[in-house]
Amino acid sequence: MSAAPALPPEALEPGQLRRALGSFAAGVTVVTTQLDGQLVGTTVSAFSALSLDPPLVLACLKRDSRTLAAVRQTAAFCVNILCAEQGELAHAFAKSGCDDRFALTAVEAGVTGAPLLAGCATHIECDLHAVHDGGDHEILVGRVLRVVVDEAKTPLVYVRGRFLT
């Protein structure tokens, strides 16, 4: 079988790349932290397992994300893995300039102070292990301190710009 000719990088349109990457089904998380008593958080699908020993996970946040700036300061965050009924929450935490994202949900403080959103499939509480360059994003590597899993909840799945229901 002959391989398709490789395209030079300049031939790659951003829209094309977005569509291609959107074919990869992902879970949906809200990454949270608490800075000077303020709850901060945003929707993140670019989350991944990284290492079991030591226990590490990663999340990629846009360079201009307010949540990224807050996590850099607090050096701690919680990854709230949303369940299938929480699509509305995913939209609320993605709205730009929205200051009352936490109005839709109950929260409790986790071990780092970062808020745990009620009703999620899983919570992964981390301290900040490293930050790496990721082009127009930064890669937050978290060292996992504690996990809470609700096996009864079905995780939310995002693919091709929509939530699977």
Ligand X SMILES: Cc1cc2nc3c(=O)[nH]c(=O)nc-3n(C[C@H](O)[C@H](O)[C@H](O)COP(=O)(O)O)c2cc1C
As a residue count, the chain comes to 165
Q: Does residue 141 touch ligand X according to CB under 6 A?
A: no
In this chain, which of 39, 75, 84, 94 binds ligand X, going by CB under 6 A? 94
Handedness of CA 108, 45, 103, 122 (dihedral sign): negative
Look at residue 72 and give its three-state secondary structure: helix
Query: Could you tell me which stretch among 7-15, 65-73, 117-125, 146-154 binds ligand X (CB under 6 A)?
Result: 65-73
Q: Does residue 28 touch ligand X according to CB under 6 A?
A: yes
Q: Does residue 34 touch ligand X according to CB under 6 A?
A: no
Q: Does residue 67 touch ligand X according to CB under 6 A?
A: yes
Q: Does residue 114 touch ligand X according to CB under 6 A?
A: no
Strands 38-44 and 29-35 come out as antiparallel
Q: Does residue 120 touch ligand X according to CB under 6 A?
A: no
Which helix (H) or strand (E) segment holds residue 113: the answer is: none
